[in-house]
Structure 1
Amino acid sequence: MRTILKWALRLAALLVVVAVLAGIWKREELTRLMAVNSLFAAEKIVSNFSHMDKAFLTTELNLPDARPSPLPKGPEATLPAQTQDWITARDVTALVVIKNGQIVHESYYKGTSPEDRRISWSVAKSYLSALMGVILADGSIASIDDPVTKYAPSLKGTAYEGASIRNVLNMSSGVTFDEDYLDKSSDINRMGRVLALGGTMDGFAESLSDTFAAPGQTWQYVSIDTHVLSMVIRGATGRSISDLMSEKIMGPMGLEVAPYYLTDGVGVAFVLGGLNMITRDYARMGQMFLQRGRLNGQQIVPADWVDASTAATAPTAQDAIGYGFQWWVPKGADEGEFMARGVYGQYIYINRPLGVVIATNAADRKFRETGVSDANVAMFRAIANAL
């Protein structure tokens, strides 16, 4: 009996040592997983959204040393009387307004600063669309009507078999993907855990096997579609998204502060929502698209791609918000009115006829409530019309 007890105690001690060593070995992964689980907690969300590099793997974009000066400042604008109530209700952390190429309003809230590199969430999708236009123009991709498997052959036999690049740009891939942020078992939250634990986004995309419609038949917002676009671009060029984005988009735009991407465990950029930059530089992207892809005296994104990507060409429901190539077109939009949009209140709103760009960041935990998105667009239109 004593011998058995002695061996049991030794085994228990060994298991404790193994557990401690495993905890040390996996400490970073466990820390990231804990961070994901509390990412949107009321008491942490504002700080988290300005410091995503504390919770996830990242890669900083390399920008050229010589960069243009910041966007010029114009006379301070008088915003509509209801603006402050909207800022409070929507937990806005940053608001930058440009009129005719000049910043006419800039303000920050909830203890955040102008130099905070804020998470884009799905605003990042519009940046990848811009890069797709550049890569298409240089001939690395022959046509957006090519199947995605031509450039990302690892997707053969998956749910993406048969989908074209155009289908995926339009979010009409037909791939089944649960985008419910409030359901911890949803695909979008499973994907978040893969990211936090150092898994691979490519592997996640390749694991999807179910479809709900034929490609191009109907529109449904599927965030992993954007990652598939990055697989296409990487496959076509043999280069990373971070390097391509630095060289083709971010560097020529002349950003003030180098942005960074969240990455998966093998350094692949989290293109569908992991871009982090200062709000003035988000506004700079809007100004470039207002000017049909031109900024700093050069054509950065082809003008015809700007026009095509911001037109409501996706097969969305009648009378619903429109969608282009990873850009949104508000209901009742005038020509030249479109936006990039991310969860929790991230926006780049462009109104070309009025010469206005509005960039906002927020930590709005009520962003999914009925009417919130329409109210945000109404606020942007009110600001634009007041200038």
Structure 2
Amino acid sequence: MKEINSTNWLQPQNNRKSFQNIRSIFPVISLKKGNDKPSKIIKNLRPIKSIEFEDLDGKKSISDMLKSTYTDAFLVLKGDELIFEEYFNEMNSSSLHLMNSISKSFVGMLAGIFIENGKIDPNKEIPFYIPEFKGTAFSNTTLQHALDMTAAVTFGEDYNDNNADFWHESAVLGWRPDLREKNSSENLFDFALSLKDKDQKDGEKYHYRTVLTNIIVMVIERATDEKFSKLLEKYLWQKLGSEQEALIVKDEAGFPYMGAGMNACARDLARFGLMLLHDGFYNNEQIIPASWIESTKEGSAHLRKIFSESDYGLMFPEGHYKNQLWIANPNTMICLGIYGQTIYVNQLANIVIVKFSSHPQPADNNLYTSILLGMEAIVNEL
């Protein structure tokens, strides 16, 4: 078999292996699990694979959906009980898998801790915390604009465009060596500094841009004078009672790529989902302030309006995006990553679903539609 490396790791079929072996391809930071025993997950398995639903291709079962959407792991929890757990493609319960933009939701929740305790003011503009950003596209962008993906910066995030800004940014990490040039930025900070153009007013439109998550991480580091990875490890990862370490791809300066570079096992993502399910309370502790989760779910009329007018409006007609979380409706929080990574949290039904995948293409809308319809069918059946 041909060696999988940074030049071919994203190719269809290769990503079925590379997404579970990121550490062997890129430099990473490790978040250590806590010293205590992992938080208990009670198994009470139930049959769900025969549940049927209709997607764009017609009637199919959950079993069909798992096969057709290139599933690597699929977990369903009802309350705090694990009622379904299945792995594919040589993955198992201890395997770490790239979560892509699910990483962003970890950033949004950690930010909530420091915003709610007054350490960080979300209404301050980015240069208040990082003066170097004066005169860039972020000069009038507040931290809240970044959290809600409503900033002014021009930044193309069309994953199917091989030359999009998203890929140029990830090339800094070595994800796309073919896009590296002599004058390319050496790290994520310098890349963000190079962005000068704006294509809207701050707060005017919803426009999902990965660079904003990396900016949030930079603000958290400046405001706390701590390494983000250490904060994430101490205040979130270990408090979840995780059973495995987590990994984050890092740039040459050692800065964590939280826009898309975190890796974890499926059960630990389920723990994160359970924490969201219980409004920030998990493992006998209020990990994230409940008020932060509530305001995230509540959003605003403005956020719902600009979301409905965006490219994503049809995906979640009642939805909005706030604090790095997708709010599909008043009861449902979703974390999404390209190539099919999903955490689905429905508070009304008391259900958490986790899915790791390795889709051939980064943003296949038909596959995501099938996944989300399948998850809704599980919620309706249980």
Tell me whether the two structures share a fold, i.e. TM-score over 0.5: yes
Shift of 1:37: 2.9
Unaligned runs of 5+ in 1: 1-31
Matched, 1:126 2:105: yes
- The 1:382–1:269 alpha-carbon spacing in structure 2 relative to 1, beyond 3 Å, is same
Aligned to 1:163: 141
Name the CA distance, whole Å, in 2 between partners of 1:38 and 1:235.
35
Q: How many residues in Structure 1 have an aligned counterpart in Structure 2?
A: 351
**1:273 is matched with which residue: 241, 260, 263?**
260
Mapped partners of 2:10, 2:205: distance in 1: 31
Shift of 1:180: 2.5
TM, length-normalised to structure 2: 0.88
Deviates more, 1:242-251 or 1:308-317: 308-317
Larger proportion of strand: 2
TM-aligned CA deviation for residue 77 of structure 1: 3.8
Partner of residue 58, structure 2: none
Q: How far apart are the structure 2 equivalents of 1:289 and 1:66? A: 22
Larger helix proportion of the pair: 1
Q: CA deviation at 1:365?
A: 2.0
SS at match of 2:352: strand
> What does 1:58-69 align with in structure 2 at a 5 Å threshold?
58-69=28-39
**2:130 aligned with 1:152, yes or no?**
yes
Structure 1 residue 40, shift from structure 2 partner:
1.7
For 2:368 and 2:295, how far apart are their aligned partners in 1? 24
Q: Map residues 192-231 of structure 1 onto 2, 5 A cutoff.
A: 192-196=170-174, 199-231=186-218
Aligned to 2:364: 369
Q: C-alpha displacement at 1:110, in angstroms?
A: 1.6
1:323 is aligned, of 321, 324, 327, to 321
**Alpha-carbon distance in structure 1 between the residues aligned to 2:26 and 2:40:** 29
Supply the distance in 2 between the matched residues of 1:73 and 1:86 (Cα, whole angstroms). 23
Q: What is residue 384 of structure 1 aligned with on the other side?
A: 379
Deviations 1:61-89 (A, max 9, x none): 13331233441112424341411111111
Quote the residue 2:84 is aligned against: 105
8 Å CA contact retained: 2:160, 2:363: no
Show the counterpart of 2:43.
73
1:293 to 269, 276, 280: 280
Of residues 95-104 and 193-202 in structure 1, the stretch that sits farther from structure 2 once superposed is: 193-202
Separation in 2, partners of 1:234, 1:351: 32
CA contact (8 A) 2:93 2:266 kept: yes
After superposing the two structures, state which structure 1 stretch, 67-76 or 231-240, moved more: 67-76
Distance 2:227 2:24 in 1: 23
Shift in alpha-carbon separation, 1:367–1:86, aligned structure 2, 3 A? farther
Equivalents in 2 of 1:41, 1:140: separation in Å? 42
Which range moves more in the overlay, 338-347 or 131-140?
131-140
1:146-193 Cα deviation digits (max 9, x unpaired): 112111222111110101111111100021111122333221111122
Distance 1:59 1:349 in 2: 26
Between the aligned partners of 1:185 and 1:344, the Cα distance in structure 2 is 18
> Does residue 51 of structure 1 match 2:24?
no
Q: CA separation in 1, counterparts of 2:82 and 2:282?
A: 15
Corresponding position of 2:68: 89
Q: How much has 1:366 moved relative to structure 2?
A: 4.3
Q: Which residues of structure 2 form unaligned runs of 5+?
A: 53-60, 178-184
The 1:94/1:213 distance shift into structure 2, 3 A limit, reads same
Superposition pairs for residues 300-319 of structure 1, below 5 Å? Answer: 300-313=287-300, 314=303, 315-318=306-309, 319=313
- SS state at 2:149 partner: coil
Identity %: 25
Alpha-carbon contact 1:311-1:323 (below 8 Å) kept: no
**TM-score w.r.t. length of structure 1:** 0.87
Change (3 A) 1:68 1:247: same
SS at match of 1:104: strand
Which structure has the larger Rg over C-alpha atoms?
A: 1
Q: Contact 1:131–1:249 (CA<8 Å) still a contact in 2?
A: yes
User: What is aligned with 2:339?
Assistant: 344
